[in-house]
Amino acid sequence: MRTVYIKTYGCQMNEYDSSRLADLLHESHGLVRVPEPDAADVLLINSCSIREKASEKLFSDLGRLQEWKTLRPHVLIGVGGCVASQEGEDIRRRAPYVDLVFGPQTLHKVPDLLNAARRTAAAVDVRFVEMEKFDNLPMPRAEGPRAFLSIMEGCSKYCSFCVVPYTRGNEFSRPFDDVLAEAALLAGQGVREITLLGQNVNAYQGRRHDGRMADLAELLEYLSCIEGIGRLRFTTSHPLVFGDRLIGAFAHLDKLVGHLHLPVQSGSNAVLERMKRGHSVEEYKAKIARLRLARRDISVSTDFIVGFPGETEDDFEATMALIDEMRFDLSYSFAYSPRPGTPAAALADDVPRAVKEERLARLQAVNLAHARHISEGMVGTTQRILIDREAPRGRGDLSGRTENNRVVNFPGEGGSALVGRFATVRIVEARPNSLRGELVDREDPVRPSLDYTLTERCS
């Protein structure tokens, strides 16, 4: 048996890409994905360049691999993802023992690149080739009741700090019918919850079979009709293109969870302006207020960057004030790092590292306290969860997720047969990273008929 090990850094889109790549290499070369690198015949790194630390990790991994490869000269080493896209041939200049280099849009070329690398020398392909990738990947194989589904690639927002438009290219959406077909296939394989992925999913514009373009709200409506799919999420969105139709989807689509990740980055208009986000703090707050009218108890999480060039103490306090006002759920926050090739990299990175770290720690402490408060407020309530696995630390417990994406562990009478079913649990305790619950009721299993046809949206 020949094997491939894939190490994935970064976002969920990279995770999705890695699993599709594994499917592809299984089909093309019979390679079986293994969880450890030691016995692998092919070792691939799917890299991330969003922040400084992410790309540094790639080069320190590669440094370690030099000796590793001397002991295993037959192993082919490949680097893909966003660092590969930015650095291209330079990866091989820094690490000549790398055999192949591919970008986020040339995943489908990896089988050919492997053949080429085996026959001759190194093979590099990091072009942007719209849609070719999705047209050339095999249909996915589900691993459990939750799955990711990429609906678009790239980003055309060009926020001044962000490398994504340069590494993944401009936005392009997968055709509407292809997305539905993939979702129906996943449902047939036991998937009950789908997370639609894209850097900017709410800019989705997919061509339908009748030539008309459909937006994210319409896509969600059709996905809601697929038998077996009980829950839908999407990430990430940009506040600027979060329109009324999408807000309306939260009012009338029961399967769309009451949880939204909507990055704000900063609570200061001056900083938002320099970040080229295209919206003000007030506009962001107005969007959330409208969302709360559509779905009263929606939980919102966000992303922050602290220490952006020119961020003053007052700017930072404005971010802290926004956090206090909005009471975000568990969010992500990062110290700014200049990314090569982005407009912000031309600004002086003038907030000292120690100040960035101190602000980050303060922000994270408050945000964590809010998230804990939300968890504690859930104690005593009943929640609908999707049971997705047996709890890792055993004792017969099962584990599931609430709509606001919290893990609930509970005594699993019924055992693993319940995995993939929706259930109601009562929350009895809030722990730092999970909730503890008791089973109240379980829903019947769904067995989709698999004859999904694209006719009209269900009512």
Residues forming contacts to ligand F3S in the complex (CB under 6 A) are: 155, 157-159, 162, 164-165, 199-200, 238
Decide whether 236 or 383 has the Cβ nearer to ligand SAH. 236
Among 3, 150, 160, 265, binds ligand SAH (CB under 6 A): 265
Q: Which of 200, 224, 383, 404 binds ligand SAH (CB under 6 A)?
A: 200
């079979």: which residue's tokens? 209
The partner residues of 385 in beta bridges, in order of sequence, read 423
Q: Which stretch binds ligand SAH (CB under 6 A): 85-93, 119-127, 334-342, 367-375?
A: 334-342
Kindly write down the DSSP assignment for every residue of 124-180, as one continuous string.
Answer: EE----TTHHHHTSPPP---SSEEEEE-EE------TT--HHHHH-S-EEPPHHHHH
CA distance 112 to 122: 12
Is 240 or 379 the residue whose CB approaches ligand SAH more closely? 240
Alpha-carbon distance 189 to 228, whole Å? 10
How far is Cα 424 from Cα 193, in angstroms, rounded to an integer? 16
Say whether residue 238 binds ligand SAH (CB under 6 A).
yes
291 binds, among ligand F3S, ligand SAH, none (CB under 5 to 8 A by kind): none
273-290 burial code (b ≥16 CB/10 A, e <16):
ebbebebebeebbebbee
Choose from ligand F3S, ligand SAH, none: what does 283 bind? Cβ within 5-8 Å by kind: none
Q: Is the Cβ of residue 224 or residue 319 nearer to ligand F3S in the bound state?
A: 319
Total binding residues toward ligand SAH, as defined by CB under 6 A: 17
The set of residues, in sequence order, having a beta carbon less than 8 Å from that of 56 and lying 6+ positions away, is: none
Under a CB-based contact definition with an 8 Å cutoff, are residues 261 and 332 in contact? no
Q: Which does 189 bind (CB under 5 to 8 A by kind): ligand SAH, ligand F3S, none?
A: none
Among ligand SAH, ligand F3S, none, the one that 68 touches (CB under a kind-dependent 5 to 8 A) is none
From the number of C-beta atoms within 10 Å of its C-beta (0-12, 13-18, 19+), residue 405 rates as: middle
With 0-12 / 13-18 / 19 or more C-beta atoms within 10 angstroms meaning exposed / middle / buried, residue 129 is middle
Q: Find out whether 195 and 147 touch, Cβ atoms under 8 Å.
A: yes
| DSSP 8-state symbol, 109 | G
Which partner, ligand F3S, ligand SAH, none, binds residue 158 by CB below 5 to 8 Å per kind? ligand F3S
Partner interacting with residue 305 (select from ligand SAH, ligand F3S, none; CB below 5-8 Å by kind): ligand SAH
Burial 225-255 (b: 16+ CB within 10 A, else e): bbbbbbbbbbbbbbbbbbeeebbebbeebeb
Asked if 283 touches ligand SAH (CB under 6 A), the answer is no
**Residue in 413, 310, 328 with CA at minimum distance from that of residue 370:** 328
- How far apart are alpha carbons 15 and 7 in whole angstroms? 9
Print the binding letters for residues 70-99 with ligand SAH: x by CB under 6 A, - otherwise: ------------------------------
> Does residue 50 bind ligand SAH (CB under 6 A)?
yes
Q: Is 256 in the site for ligand SAH (CB under 6 A)?
A: no
Could you give the angle at the alpha carbon of 259 between the alpha carbons of 254 and 262, nearest 5°? Answer: 130
φ, ψ of residue 3 in degrees (nearest 5):
-130, 160
We find the least distance from the C-beta atom of residue 156 to ligand F3S, in angstroms, to be 8
339 binds, among ligand F3S, ligand SAH, none (CB under 5 to 8 A by kind): ligand SAH
Shortest Å distance, C-beta 336 to ligand SAH: 5
Q: From residue 458, give the alpha-carbon distance in Å to each of 204, 402, 404, 429.
A: 21, 25, 25, 38
Q: Smallest gap, in angstroms, from Cβ of residue 339 to ligand F3S?
A: 10
Q: Pick what 165 binds: ligand F3S, ligand SAH, none; C-beta below 5 to 8 Å, kind-dependent.
A: ligand F3S
Q: Which is nearer to ligand SAH, 14 or 200 (CB)?
A: 200
Q: For residue 51, state whether it binds ligand SAH (rule: CB under 6 A).
A: yes
DSSP secondary structure letters along 27-69: HHH--EE-SSSTT-SEEEEEE--SSHHHHHHHHHHHHHHHHHH
Binding ligand SAH (rule: CB under 6 A), the pick from 46, 49, 150, 199 is 199
The only residue of 20, 109, 255, 339 in contact with ligand SAH, by rule CB under 6 A: 339
- In the complex, minimum distance from the CB of residue 308 to ligand SAH, in angstroms, rounded to a whole number: 8
**E strand or H helix at 386, and its extent?**
strand 382-390
Nearer to ligand F3S, 184 or 275 (CB): 275
Report, in Å, the least distance between residue 354 CB and ligand SAH. 17
Contacts with ligand SAH in 148-167 (CB under 6 A)? Answer: 161-162, 164
CB of 358 to ligand F3S, least distance (A): 24
Q: What is the nearest approach in angstroms of ligand SAH to the Cβ of residue 204?
A: 13
Q: Write b or e for each residue in 138-164: b if 16 or more Cβ atoms lie within 10 A of its Cβ, otherwise e.
A: eebebeebbbbbbbbbbbebebbbbbb
Minimum CB–partner distance for residue 264 and ligand SAH (Å): 9
- Sequence-ordered alpha helix ranges (H) in 331-450: 353-378
Residues that bind ligand SAH (CB under 6 A): 50-51, 161-162, 164, 199-200, 236, 238, 263, 265, 303, 305, 334, 336-337, 339
